[in-house]
Chain A
């Protein structure tokens, strides 16, 4: 007999015990361990995903910030460039204006200098002319310059052409105030009477005259009455002299092309 029923029963019991033992000591711990590990791995993967998402987000934020920063930087740079440009233009304008002002001032100075020089020349010439004339007259004819000027005035008075003479006569006759004879210096009494006589003779009337001394009447005698004026003075000569000097100065200025250096140079020249 191959089947021993006691052994069969014993093996059934043995097998059932083995099933219980293995369940208790093998399957459950192993399955639990696997479950725990799987949970742990799932958790770690989820964590990793979360971290990845976080990192991605951080990266995007950083990128956005970077772009914003770049844009801002570019904007600031362009703004600064424009400001610098504007500042440059402003400075250049200022410099140009300053240069203009300077050059205008120089020109003005030059003009003034030229003018002063002219005036100085005029005065000098006037004085020299008078001095020379006075000396020459005194030496040659033993007459003073004043005398001679009075004579010249009288001669001019006598030599007046008819319409002028008529106008002047009319004015003298209708005038309520006495006519004014102005001269740069005090006329001597002889001269005064000579002028009075000449006037009386010329206009055949007794003409009242008041003598005045006015330094602005450059070396001459002026008769003023009721809007009419008869004058002789050295000023005419001086004017022509002034004209000659001006022309001389202009001739000096024009040949040199650069105006700034020219003005400086010419001013220097004029100064000396």
Chain B
């Protein structure tokens, strides 16, 4: 019994090792990229198009719409990062229906890596939008004494992001494993379905929260719209945290 796919090590050479997390991540990357290439290789510009192209269009435009709804006015700019987060997490949990598969998101290392990516991407997008000085200045808002709290908030939310995804994904596989030992028939299938659902929900939450953080970082630069836009993002955050 292991808690994380990190513990399944296929190959190791000193510090370098190839564990199940990395292997399944590569597998997912292969599937995602290969599928995309297969479908986009022969894109149709007509009104008639293949169902796979249709599916991808729905997925891409759906993600773009979600990003826009959060408040990012140029979804194409953030689509690469946020969309990839969503697709990776969603695919990772979707493949749990394959026997022998361990979701890489069930490893705290992976979720930490994703959280670190978000942690780095948020200030990057913020600085790209309005410059270093103004971005750093936001940490002193509304007053200088808020600086430590702002920093703590920044760190804690990254930690929460990582822990939340890990907990949900890990629990899914754990519950399944435990249930299989207790009631081997039927009930694990129901739990598996539930796991798929929570996996999708987690993918959505993870990418939406990242979007919200980016939106907050790129928006707070405008003082006049600041308070108004902060309220809905706080609301979002509070809801998802709950």
Closest to B18 in A: A10
On chain A, the number of residues with a Cβ less than 8 Å from chain B's Cβ atoms is 34
A7 interface neighbour in B3, B19, B45, B81, Cβ under 8 Å: B19
Tell me the complex Cα distance, A53–B46, Å: 25
Cβ A19 vs Cβ B84 within 8 A: yes
In the assembled complex, how far is the CB of residue A48 from the closest CB belonging to chain B, in whole angstroms? 14
Tell me the complex Cα distance, A11–B32, Å: 16
Tell me the complex Cα distance, A12–B21, Å: 12
Cβ A9 vs Cβ B45 within 8 A: no
Given the interface contacts A27-B60, A33-B45, does A4 sit within 8 Å of B109 by beta carbon?
A: yes
Q: In the complex, which residues of chain A have a beta carbon less than 8 angstroms from the beta carbon of B61? A: 34
Cβ B87 vs Cβ A22 within 8 A: yes
On chain B, the number of residues with a Cβ less than 8 Å from chain A's Cβ atoms is 48
Closest to A15 in B: B117
Cβ B110 vs Cβ A11 within 8 A: yes
Chosen A-B contacts, 18 in total, with CB atoms closer than 8 Å, are A2-B4, A2-B6, A3-B109, A3-B112, A6-B17, A8-B116, A11-B25, A11-B113, A18-B32, A23-B80, A27-B60, A27-B83, A29-B36, A30-B53, A33-B43, A37-B47, A40-B45, A41-B47
Residues of A within 8 A of B (CB): 2-12, 14-23, 25-27, 29-34, 36-37, 40-41
B22 at the interface (CB under 8 A from A): yes
Q: In the complex, which residues of chain B have a beta carbon less than 8 angstroms from the beta carbon of A30? A: 40, 43, 53, 56-57, 60
Tell me the complex Cα distance, A2–B111, Å: 11
B190 at the interface (CB under 8 A from A): no
List 15 additional A-B contacts (Cβ < 8 Å) besides A7-B107, A8-B113, A15-B88.
A10-B113, A14-B25, A15-B114, A16-B117, A17-B29, A18-B88, A20-B80, A22-B36, A23-B80, A25-B36, A25-B37, A26-B36, A26-B60, A27-B79, A30-B43
B68 at the interface (CB under 8 A from A): no
Tell me the complex Cα distance, A14–B104, Å: 12
B33 at the interface (CB under 8 A from A): yes
Tell me the complex Cα distance, A22–B112, Å: 21
- Residues 123-137 of B contacting A (Cβ, < 8 Å): none
Tell me the complex Cα distance, A34–B107, Å: 36
B11 at the interface (CB under 8 A from A): no
Cβ B45 vs Cβ A36 within 8 A: yes
Closest to B4 in A: A2
Q: In the complex, which residues of chain B have a beta carbon less than 8 angstroms from the beta carbon of A29? A: 36, 40, 43
Cβ B116 vs Cβ A12 within 8 A: yes
In the assembled complex, how far is the CB of residue B2 from the closest CB belonging to chain A, in whole angstroms? 11
In the assembled complex, how far is the CB of residue B107 from the closest CB belonging to chain A, in whole angstroms? 7
Closest 4 CB pairs of A and B: A11-B113, A7-B109, A29-B40, A26-B36
Q: In the complex, which residues of chain A have a beta carbon less than 8 angstroms from the beta carbon of B214? A: none
Tell me the complex Cα distance, A193–B46, Å: 147
In the assembled complex, how far is the CB of residue A7 from the closest CB belonging to chain B, in whole angstroms? 4
